[in-house]
Structure 1
């Protein structure tokens, strides 16, 4: 006997169902996922060292922490905390210092006691692990957007359409008939779920208070999200089985909601937000948590409408659109009006073309010779080359991105900033590294010839822009950046034993295509609103923050000004002591000096603008 629901009619049309396979952003059946690697940098170090995930671990950069795993967070340890304070909270905390380039070396490495005066941070190990994970993502879904080393957006619409057609073959046949008859505006028959042994995977967010949904009365939007939850579960399981990394995910009708949901149940979980549950969920969200509303715009909205401290979205929902337009302008007001209602039609896009790359270093103490400067320029070039390699192997069109312009920024105490720029000579990919280094040395010579000389120098940065994508990959340039290895990287298939660490092999291998089956956080993980990628930012050696390239000089000025102020205070203290004057009493704290190691503690880290604190999972 047929189930009674067969006689019902769905509220969705064949056209809306067919739009799934076309990745339409307007169909109400659309389903988007956001996948976020849990405490990614810390996971990388846990895998590298062969530790159990339950072992408290933090990634160290100089005297501060840039990533903390969930086992360590249970002790109250946070990012940017001083390592001494962290050890007090958890004496068994494993501290894994990030890899660094050492002055004069030709390869980054994990050093036992890196010195900020002679080392520069390298993110290559994390880029390479990220690349392998994204290989898995791309193999399992054709529409994936790179959101950073540790997060990605997925448009699951077409995959879900295919699953439904397989599980409900009658619907697939009927849809083809309707299309031939040009009757796609007809309503779908109601899905019969009684005979299908299917269950949601993950945490289902509750429905609105005035809504109820019996299992046997699930319409096609419920079916769509059910299959989406199963697909994401499969993707997360594959990443764990092949790479031993856990992910958290959010599955929702659009990007904004999916991003919010991925941090709802962490770590190693997924949250499903069905369309019928959106209004109730949004009522619990602070509006500043929405992407784009955590910075100046959020502050302007709070002031303009006297938003209460709770910042709840229901308060903003009471404001009429004309009032929003009057205060914010038409474009911003319309965007805000829809986004606080959980509406977003933005598309999941492939990784944007790389526009620029930058490598920088603040020197403590200042460098004083041309030989020192050239050694650091060589490191900058190798750092940039590593990113060019990563982009080459991440681009699904298989094209080489060749920079066309180079800029060298140089800073001296009391002299401000100077820079020189020139075109990068045309060259084959096989000699790109040498060409970049020679070009950088040429720019340095130009600066050295000008008064008042180039040394002592407290900051250098090398940037390349104007990437050209006209050179197509071929066999001759497959390994033009690194020497090929005879033994390919093998992804561990078993949980690594603490007694048998994975070692550096998986982090040192060139980025090559791995064998994968054909088919990149909670509120503390992502504290910025605007996404920063490796391509448009760098990690400051002093404070471990990710800084937008456009803000690099201002940020480095801030560090220099702070160091100068601390030096003046130290000089004043010494003068007073010599003269027999008792210096003014000040709170005790960690001593910092402009010529010593930077010690970024929780109270010393500068307040950064929006978007400057991402990717530290």
Structure 2
């Protein structure tokens, strides 16, 4: 059977974590500050034209006097945990992202929770994103809802499902959303439906997945107070593209019938592995910048230019074809606490002070890991970097 894949993407996650912590609403403009720059901007602040890495805190306040600028938590010398300090100094404080890691762990626990006795295949993609393969859950729900439904692969199955009601499914991509959609052969008769909108079992599969997605997003909001957006499709690549299509707090769905039309609107840089060196190579070699431009190249020509494997991958990915599985990420194998100094440390007293700060951060994070997974490290590595040396210096030993 075709797969039902969901990509959950938290909306301005760090900003939401601070909004919930401070008891603010989604309408209260807030930015998360790290030293002199913003690392997160809420959607309510973006309405004032505030963007990351584009202005100072003072300039942001000029655009939005009611803006709340919250500096990330930091570790300070002599303290045994991270705190939200009023005036942290990069010369004496160490940034902590632990509040966001903790919030992420709670979100991921909700996302990976079994539904009606079946757990989705779950892959944490980043601190604020996760893929869910809900195919088994969807097929089970289809079997419950439609007595005459027979899973794919069985000889007897209705040719078409019942009419599909897309109400409350979220934003469903149609021809109107695809500027470069290929025209249908011949005009439609007055009042005639677009054949691409005819019901299919694959489309019904995604419709059921949309209900499940709304249920999951609702649980995150109800239990944790965070909104998230989502993409719903038959593959990871397309689900990822859809999740960012309509934000915040929305879900977007693409049926197989509109896959090619949608992909014509996608630029290379938004697809993983096409935003880097290989994408640059494709743009230079073919003189194109979008998936729509690449569709005119046959498989053989792409393989001749980029090799058999890369050419085949490119041919498929620009068409939204992706077989990548949703795979659980391996457990954390290393954990790092580090600090880069603008001015090198010159005394052993300074070094001891910073070793204390970094040790505190590492201990806090390891304590959380022990609480969650009952795991403890075996080896400790200390690395120092001298700006005048040609290589780093490292020492390792058993972890205490």
TM-score (norm 1): 0.58
Q: Aligned pair in 2 of structure 1 residues 246, 119: CA closer, same or farther (>3 Å)?
A: same
User: Contact between 2:138 and 2:205, CA under 8 Å: does it hold in 1?
Assistant: yes
Which residue, out of 20, 26, 37, partners 1:53? Answer: 26
> 1:253 Cα deviation (Å)?
0.7
> 1:331 Cα deviation (Å)?
1.8
- Matched with 2:66 is 92
- Matched with 1:224 is 205
- Matched with 1:265 is 246
- Is 1:201 the counterpart of 2:183? The answer is no
> 1:330 Cα deviation (Å)?
2.0
- Is 1:166 the counterpart of 2:144? The answer is yes
Which residue, out of 202, 227, 252, partners 2:233? Answer: 252
> 1:328 Cα deviation (Å)?
1.9
> 1:392 Cα deviation (Å)?
5.4
- Matched with 1:41 is 14
- Is 1:295 the counterpart of 2:276? The answer is yes
Q: Aligned pair in 2 of structure 1 residues 315, 390: CA closer, same or farther (>3 Å)?
A: farther
Q: Aligned pair in 2 of structure 1 residues 393, 227: CA closer, same or farther (>3 Å)?
A: farther
Q: Which whole-Å deviations, capped at 9, do the CAs of 1:391-437 have from their partners, x for residues lacking one? A: 5566xxx5x44434333222334345431232325xxxxxxxxx1xx
- Is 1:318 the counterpart of 2:296? The answer is yes
User: Contact between 1:250 and 1:258, CA under 8 Å: does it hold in 2?
Assistant: yes
Q: Which whole-Å deviations, capped at 9, do the CAs of 1:369-410 have from their partners, x for residues lacking one? A: 32332332233233234444555566xxx5x44434333222
Pairs within 5 Å for 1:3-22: none
> 1:132 Cα deviation (Å)?
1.1
> 1:127 Cα deviation (Å)?
0.7
- Matched with 2:3 is 30
Pairs within 5 Å for 1:75-90: 75-80=48-53, 81-90=55-64
Q: Aligned pair in 2 of structure 1 residues 352, 273: CA closer, same or farther (>3 Å)?
A: same
- Matched with 2:216 is 235
Q: Aligned pair in 2 of structure 1 residues 423, 322: CA closer, same or farther (>3 Å)?
A: farther
- Matched with 2:102 is 128
Pairs within 5 Å for 1:318-357: 318-357=296-335
Could you list the runs of 5+ residues in structure 2 that have no partner in the other structure? Answer: 176-180, 185-192
Which residue, out of 189, 196, 217, partners 2:158? Answer: 189
> 1:284 Cα deviation (Å)?
0.7
Which structure has more relative contact order (CA 8 Å, sep 6+)? It is 1
- Matched with 1:108 is 82
Which residue, out of 386, 390, 399, partners 1:412? Answer: 386
In 2, Cα distance between equivalents of 1:375 and 1:236: 44
User: Contact between 1:225 and 1:272, CA under 8 Å: does it hold in 2?
Assistant: yes
Q: Which whole-Å deviations, capped at 9, do the CAs of 1:281-301 have from their partners, x for residues lacking one? A: 001111221111111111111
In 2, Cα distance between equivalents of 1:187 and 1:279: 30
> 1:56 Cα deviation (Å)?
1.0
Q: Which whole-Å deviations, capped at 9, do the CAs of 1:163-215 have from their partners, x for residues lacking one? A: 111111332xx56xx9xxxxx44151145535x87745100000564392487
Structure whose CA Rg is larger: 1
Pairs within 5 Å for 1:515-594: none
In 2, Cα distance between equivalents of 1:304 and 1:382: 51
Could you list the runs of 5+ residues in structure 1 that have no partner in the other structure? Answer: 1-26, 179-183, 426-434, 436-617
- Is 1:375 the counterpart of 2:375? The answer is no
Pairs within 5 Å for 1:379-390: 379-390=357-368
> 1:156 Cα deviation (Å)?
1.0
- Matched with 2:377 is 403
- Matched with 2:190 is none
In 2, Cα distance between equivalents of 1:288 and 1:413: 35
In 2, Cα distance between equivalents of 1:393 and 1:269: 34
Equivalent residue of 1:78, what SS?
A: coil
Pairs within 5 Å for 1:424-573: 424-425=398-399, 435=400
Q: Which whole-Å deviations, capped at 9, do the CAs of 1:230-271 have from their partners, x for residues lacking one? A: 000011011111111000000011000000000000000000
In 1, Cα distance between equivalents of 2:216 and 2:245: 19
- Is 1:280 the counterpart of 2:261? The answer is yes
- Matched with 1:152 is 130
User: Contact between 1:252 and 1:273, CA under 8 Å: does it hold in 2?
Assistant: yes
User: Contact between 1:410 and 1:417, CA under 8 Å: does it hold in 2?
Assistant: no
In 2, Cα distance between equivalents of 1:342 and 1:242: 34
Equivalent residue of 2:249, what SS?
A: coil
Output the aligned Cα RMSD.
Answer: 2.3
User: Contact between 1:405 and 1:421, CA under 8 Å: does it hold in 2?
Assistant: no
In 1, Cα distance between equivalents of 2:267 and 2:138: 31
User: Contact between 1:116 and 1:364, CA under 8 Å: does it hold in 2?
Assistant: no
User: Contact between 1:102 and 1:119, CA under 8 Å: does it hold in 2?
Assistant: yes
Q: Aligned pair in 2 of structure 1 residues 34, 192: CA closer, same or farther (>3 Å)?
A: closer
Equivalent residue of 2:326, what SS?
A: coil
Equivalent residue of 2:340, what SS?
A: strand
- Matched with 1:360 is 338
In 2, Cα distance between equivalents of 1:213 and 1:246: 35
User: Contact between 2:5 and 2:134, CA under 8 Å: does it hold in 1?
Assistant: yes
Q: Which whole-Å deviations, capped at 9, do the CAs of 1:440-465 have from their partners, x for residues lacking one? A: xxxxxxxxxxxxxxxxxxxxxxxxxx
Aligned length: 381
